[in-house]
Chains A and B, each alone.
Chain A
């Protein structure tokens, strides 16, 4: 029990540190919307595009609404913190209950296989839908209409792959981790080590993006300093996982999914009520909104297209206001459709249910929740466009991430001012719960890979008793969580947008090919797993490093140069002695600073401009991953692996021998 004391002591130390942090930087006022969180709860493809596009739109868009007072998003602290408190106490209650049930490794990693299909379905939805889904997609719809809706589709269709190809076989053939599935008929030590590295890589990329998003979101919503927010979220996340393991994580995810769906449903009803519950009327409201028409006119004007009035409104319901690179969209679609099924934290959820039937049921339930949520998101996004207006949304956040929250505040306030505060506070707490649920799942997946694959099976050769296994899992989770906090703090000023794209790219190019081939191809073997994982992972990372996702100082400098030229032209056109408007003068000064800072810089890879035009490398890296896996296996054939295929194949189809897989 000494370990337990150490864990408790460390957690306490962490919380004291958090309190210390919380005291100090509070003096520095947090200016809302200083940094567009667009980059933060980033969904692949959204943010980096959204920011420049929206920034250029913002000054222009400010004109028609300049008569109205500047919009601000200020959550009522008392109400919001009370709701946060309620969520924290409920989840901590769950942790205490779960801790008493977590005695074996199977309890810790897989909740003892005692989660029902329905519960797991909600938990999968809770694990999957990040703040990017919740805030990012509705924001995208509110600013770019149809493209945002089209973007959301891939996130659901991805589950067809999960349902048809991986869920049931993984339930039957695996135990706790990706490594379990892959090492069945291969050299277990090598394969586990490589699989663990890939799992940790995917989880770290995704976790970093989520942590940075969480910090920025909390800073924006309730004005807590960035560091405090990260440490607070981090401690809760570590607490859930270390003490409650999979059981607590599952219930946090279920609670979050419930909150998310109620929030979305409530707002959707209010939005539809405004249009008299008439869908046709709702769409007419979109097309006829003068603010949307004006916003679209300005958007298309940048491409040299002139559209006005009702035509501009109609254009909002048509594609390509935002997604102008079809190949990138297709590439992203491939990463989603194949990557979701290769995400370690999603795969892990299938080990928590007792049978393949329950795994199947859970995916189907998750599909209805996730799909239903995205359909409601459309109503929220369009609703925000109608009622908050794109101009109002970009005033608060250029990337549109605050659209849903603004909508909640406004719809509530239309009924009664206090209700506006309550709705906003409720949605802030939904965002908070969302972050907690997603990061906990990721920490658990990464720790399982390190503790179960590397420590227990590679270092200890599988000879570790239950007590030691659970301890290893707890200590690892603590370390992974602490590292997550440190990375989150360190990455505050970094561009993390590409990390989500990267996580999906690695999952789809590295993990998915080897999982599918392990389950379905007789000739697959150790060499295939290793070459597939290594090539898929390295190719994804390499391609992202040379893609437009990275910051290219010379490109930034060129942009600044354009602003300088434009402003100087404006200055020259003015009467002698006249000064630029304050706004323009500021823009000029900022552009000059940006230009000086960036004119000689190079990207991390020492490049002047991206080599690859694609933000999402899937279309190249997925075939590479598959080819490497296939060639690796063919070059180094293994008779043992081929002979054992019958066993794997019978097991994954029938579930025979599964009890052994759970107990041993």
Chain B
């Protein structure tokens, strides 16, 4: 199969690729760290701040329950936010980069 030979090192230095790489790295690792911290607050909080988890918020439903439930919504929210940014920014940059390479 005929395969276009790419100059990988040159692409890696292409300003479009550098922009893509910076934006992506910042977004991915930043939000990954955020989500990990948010998640580990749950077992840590349950173990070391049981008083906080016991505070009733709505009727008999306490903070601990709401916090655990919020983990689901935070994860879903982050997933949707990532999809939004990736579809809008990362995919666009990638497309532009690939088009530029195929033209040259």
Contact = CB atoms under 8 A, between A and B. Distances in A.
Contacts of A650: 6, 8, 11-12, 17
Given A647-B8, A654-B94, A160 B17 contact: no
A646 B9 contact: yes
Contacts of A337: 36, 39
A479 B77 CA distance: 43
A290 interface: no
Interface stretch (A71-79, A312-320, A424-432): A312-320
A150 B46 contact: yes
Contacts of B9: 643, 646
Contact of A317 (B44, B64, B71): B64
A165 B43 contact: no
B61 A283 contact: yes
A185 B42 CA distance: 39
Contacts of A643: 9
Contacts of B44: 326, 330
A455 interface: no
Nearest to A330: B43
Interface stretch (A298-306, A357-365, A500-508): A357-365
A375 B72 CA distance: 8
A50 to B, nearest CB: 18
A361 B83 contact: yes
Contact of A367 (B1, B6, B76): B76
A656 interface: yes
A573 to B, nearest CB: 38
B72 A153 contact: yes
For A160, A287, A330, the residue with the greatest tally of chain B CB atoms inside 10 Å of its CB is A160
Contacts of A319: 46-47, 50, 53, 64
Interface in B46-104: 46-48, 50, 53-54, 58-62, 64-65, 68-69, 71-72, 75-76, 78-80, 82-83, 86-87, 91, 94, 97-98, 101
Contacts of A368: 76, 79
A109 interface: no
Contact of B39 (A154, A654, A655, A660): A154
Interface string A618-655: 00000000000000000000000001101101110111
B43 A157 contact: no
Interface in A110-167: 146, 149-150, 153-154, 156-157, 159-161, 163-165
A318 B64 contact: yes
A284 interface: yes
Contact of A283 (B31, B60, B68, B82): B60
Contacts, number: 156
Interface string A322-337: 0100100110010001
Interface string B1-33: 101001011011000010011001000110110
A664 B46 CA distance: 51
A157 B12 contact: no
A323 B46 CA distance: 10
Contact of A333 (B8, B39, B61): B39
B60 A284 contact: yes
A150 B79 contact: no
Contacts of A323: 43, 46
Interface of A: 146, 149-150, 153-154, 156-157, 159-161, 163-165, 279-280, 283-284, 286-287, 314, 317-320, 323, 326, 329-330, 333, 337, 357, 360-361, 363-364, 367-368, 371, 374-375, 643-644, 646-647, 649-651, 653-657, 659-660, 663-664
7 smallest A-B Cβ distances: which pairs?
A326-B47, A319-B46, A647-B8, A646-B12, A329-B43, A157-B39, A646-B8
Interface of B: 1, 3, 6, 8-9, 11-12, 17, 20-21, 24, 28-29, 31-32, 35-36, 39-40, 42-44, 46-48, 50, 53-54, 58-62, 64-65, 68-69, 71-72, 75-76, 78-80, 82-83, 86-87, 91, 94, 97-98, 101
Given A361-B83, A364-B80, A650-B11, 12 more contacts: A150-B42, A150-B46, A150-B68, A156-B72, A160-B31, A286-B60, A317-B60, A319-B46, A330-B44, A333-B39, A337-B36, A367-B76
